[in-house]
Amino acid sequence: MSSIRGCPVGIYEKSDSEVFQFKGSFVSARKAAEFLGISNKTVCTYKKSGKIFKDKYKFLRFRL
């Protein structure tokens, strides 16, 4: 999938101190999902809602 068709996603992980640390940027939800071993639908759902996945990961639109 090219970056033209995909929506770039940034993954942030919650640390012990309730602060989120940047884990990586991906050209699409599919690539972010592969990185975490989850479905791309899950990434899209949590990115749109702004909720935290499994009380650990936050997905945000990212500019590459």
Q: H or E segment at 40? A: helix 40-49
For the residues 4-9, what does the mean pLDDT come to?
A: 79
Q: H or E segment at 14? A: strand 9-14
Which tens digits make up the pLDDT trace of 26-44? 999 999 999 999 999 999 9
Q: How far apart are CA 32 and CA 37, in angstroms?
A: 9
Residues in the chain: 64
In which region does residue 28 sit, left (phi positive, over 0), alpha (psi from -120 to 50) or beta (all else)?
beta
Query: What pTM was computed for the model?
Result: 0.83
